[in-house]
């Protein structure tokens, strides 16, 4: 089962294989958490499990592809929120075929694939692989545990348990029909609105072409490009865009070697979200001055509500770098820069911080644009969420002034841009105790995207058009 390490040939040989890039190209119910270098340490530092298992694999290697379903079957016993042994072992994986993971895999001195490491999460999180033997990390070649049964037996001997692959939590559905009813659908919430997912895909495709524009390239562009692709791969609301991002990451060293300032023409010809996208027209974001800005805001907000807790800092850095390096509208980029200071990697934030950070930035830009267009200040009618959509989000001190209830705003945005609370997907858990929170009408979904676009006529168009659509959607 071993594949000897040969970095140069490995990067060139990376192919677009189905199932090759973690859970994105595999089944939707994959349970192992795929990590990459920039989130490896925070992920393991924040887990509360006593043990962690990390598989270092190469997605192009047939042996790793054959081992994947066995590894995932065991992972579901421990990682799945409905798994009977959740909370005992944190099961993760690192794809050494990705350029962004090359340094991580070298630090752990991975000589063959797959190689598994076992130990306390705090040991993984406290440093690099060089200290693994002295601090209690244990490695095992994949050939030793080549089946789900043998891997679970290997784990059982270390945690002194007798778990079985057939273990299920009482009340867990055990028929295909029952399970299929619980499967996550990406077209929930605002994504049920015709054209909403269309416009996010459209904005993503345009963003991809802008990132590769020669006029936008600078010394930081390569790193910013890969980081944003990682974010899209894991959390884009469109499945086809996640698949496209994963495939590009896998072949990134062939299309844009780190030693080259510019990407190859072959990369520029790729279609991130699949054939025929961009379609070159907008639906929900249609209207003069809207389009890309509207779709991009929808995309960024949907990304922030989908990240996991340990990814929040990375996601903020990736979004800041994307806007700073690739946003073609100089005026819009200046607004964003003026509203925030580019973060340092050492400044750790929570997922809640991330969601509210982008919301604050958007409202700050909204106020600036409103002031520029209408020469007015303090116009709260354009701030998001609107009072009628979320009364609980505003603590009114008078008829003219109010303070935001950020706890209410956070859960409102989680419901608004994220998957259904009943079927969160990607392990995301929405606080069910907050069931009394108000639910916005779906037609308001692009309100925040519109007010930040910088065009008064767009706002008027939105209010008129989506008021009409709401009557249709809500009847």
CATH number of the domain where residue 152 is located: 3.40.30.10
Number of domains present in the structure of the chain: 2
Spatial CA neighbour of 422 closest among 431, 410, 413: 431
| 364 located within any domain | yes
Verify that 262 and 334 share a domain, yes or no: yes
Verify that 142 and 203 share a domain, yes or no: no
The per-residue pLDDT for 463 is: 31
The per-residue pLDDT for 258 is: 77
pLDDT digits (tens, 9 = 90+) for 110-121: 999 999 999 999
Q: Among the residues of 127-211, which ranges form H helices?
A: 132-135, 148-159, 176-181, 196-211
Verify that 135 and 218 share a domain, yes or no: no
Q: Are 117 and 59 in contact (CB under 8 A)?
A: no
Domain end residue (candidates: 326, 345, 371): 371
The per-residue pLDDT for 200 is: 94
Verify that 219 and 142 share a domain, yes or no: no
Domain end residue (candidates: 311, 341, 371): 371
Question: HSE (CB half, 13 Å, CA atoms) of 281?
Answer: 2
Verify that 147 and 220 share a domain, yes or no: no
CA angle 44, 50, 52 (to 5 degrees): 45
The residue segments making up the domain with residue 126 are 33-159
Verify that 361 and 281 share a domain, yes or no: yes
| 429 located within any domain | no
Verify that 215 and 153 share a domain, yes or no: no
Verify that 214 and 151 share a domain, yes or no: no
Burial class of residue 435, CB neighbours in 10 A (0-12, 13-18, 19+): exposed
Verify that 204 and 337 share a domain, yes or no: yes
Verify that 150 and 202 share a domain, yes or no: no
Tell the residue number behind the tokens 């690739």, with chain if given.
Answer: 326
Whole-Å CA distances, 363 to 110, 319, 412, 450: 47, 17, 15, 11
Domain end residue (candidates: 371, 398, 421): 371
Q: Could you say which residues of the chain have pLDDT below 70?
A: 1-29, 127-135, 169-192, 289, 328, 331, 333, 339-346, 373-381, 398-400, 419-475
Distance CA 212, CA 221 (A): 9
Verify that 115 and 51 share a domain, yes or no: yes
Question: HSE (CB half, 13 Å, CA atoms) of 236?
Answer: 29
| 7 located within any domain | no
Verify that 231 and 307 share a domain, yes or no: yes
| 179 located within any domain | no
The per-residue pLDDT for 223 is: 87
| 85 located within any domain | yes
- Name the CA radius of gyration of the chain, rounded: 23
| 356 located within any domain | yes
Distance CA 306, CA 310 (A): 12
């Amino acid at each position: 089962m071993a594949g000897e390490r040969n970095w140069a040939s490995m990067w060139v040989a990376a192919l677009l294989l189905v199932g090759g890039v973690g859970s994105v190209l595999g089944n939707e119910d994959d349970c192992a958490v795929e990590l990459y270098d920039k989130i490896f340490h925070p992920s393991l530092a924040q887990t509360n499990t006593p043990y962690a298992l990390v598989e270092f694999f190469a997605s192009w290697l047939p042996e790793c592809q054959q081992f994947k379903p066995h590894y995932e079957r065991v992972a579901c016993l421990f990682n799945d929120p409905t798994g009977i042994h959740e909370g005992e072992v944190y099961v993760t994986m690192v794809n050494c075929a990705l350029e962004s993971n090359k340094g991580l895999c070298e630090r752990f001195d991975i000589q063959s694939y797959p190689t598994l490491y076992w130990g306390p999460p705090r040991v993984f999180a406290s440093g690099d692989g060089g200290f693994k033997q002295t601090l209690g990390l244990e490695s095992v070649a994949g050939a030793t545990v080549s089946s789900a049964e043998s891997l679970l037996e290997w784990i059982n001997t270390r945690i002194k348990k007798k778990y079985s692959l057939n273990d299920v939590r009482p009340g867990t559905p055990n028929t295909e029909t029952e399970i299929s009813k619980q499967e996550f659908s990406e077209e929930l919430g605002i994504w049920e609105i015709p054209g909403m997912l269309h416009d996010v895909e459209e904005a993503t495709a345009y963003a991809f072409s802008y990132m590769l524009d020669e006029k936008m390239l600078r010394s930081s562009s390569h790193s910013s490009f890969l980081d944003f692709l990682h974010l899209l791969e894991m959390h884009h609301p469109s499945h086809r865009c996640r698949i496209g991002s994963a495939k590009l990451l896998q072949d990134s060293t062939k299309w844009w070697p780190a030693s080259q300032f510019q990407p190859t023409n072959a990369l520029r010809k790729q279609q991130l979200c699949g054939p025929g996208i961009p379609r070159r027209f907008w639906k929900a974001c249609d209207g003069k001055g809207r389009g890309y800005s509207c779709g991009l805001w929808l995309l960024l907000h949907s990304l922030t509500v989908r990240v996991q807790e340990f990814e929040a800092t990375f996601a903020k850095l990736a979004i800041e770098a994307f806007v700073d390096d690739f946003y073609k509208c100089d005026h819009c980029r200046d607004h964003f820069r003026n509203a925030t200071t580019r973060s340092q990697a050492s400044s750790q934030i929570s997922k809640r911080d991330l969601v509210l950070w982008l919301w604050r930035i958007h409202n700050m830009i909204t106020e600036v644009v409103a002031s520029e267009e209408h020469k007015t200040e303090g116009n709260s009618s354009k701030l998001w969420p609107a009072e009628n959509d979320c009364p609980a989000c505003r603590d009114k001190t008078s008829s003219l002034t109010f303070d935001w209830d950020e706890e209410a705003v956070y859960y409102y945005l989680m419901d608004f841009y994220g998957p259904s609370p009943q079927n969160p997907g990607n392990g995301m858990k929405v606080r069910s105790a907050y069931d009394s929170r108000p639910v916005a009408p779906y037609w308001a979904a692009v309100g925040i995207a519109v007010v930040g676009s910088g065009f008064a006529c767009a706002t008027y168009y939105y209010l008129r058009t989506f008021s009409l659509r709401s009557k249709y959607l809500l009847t």
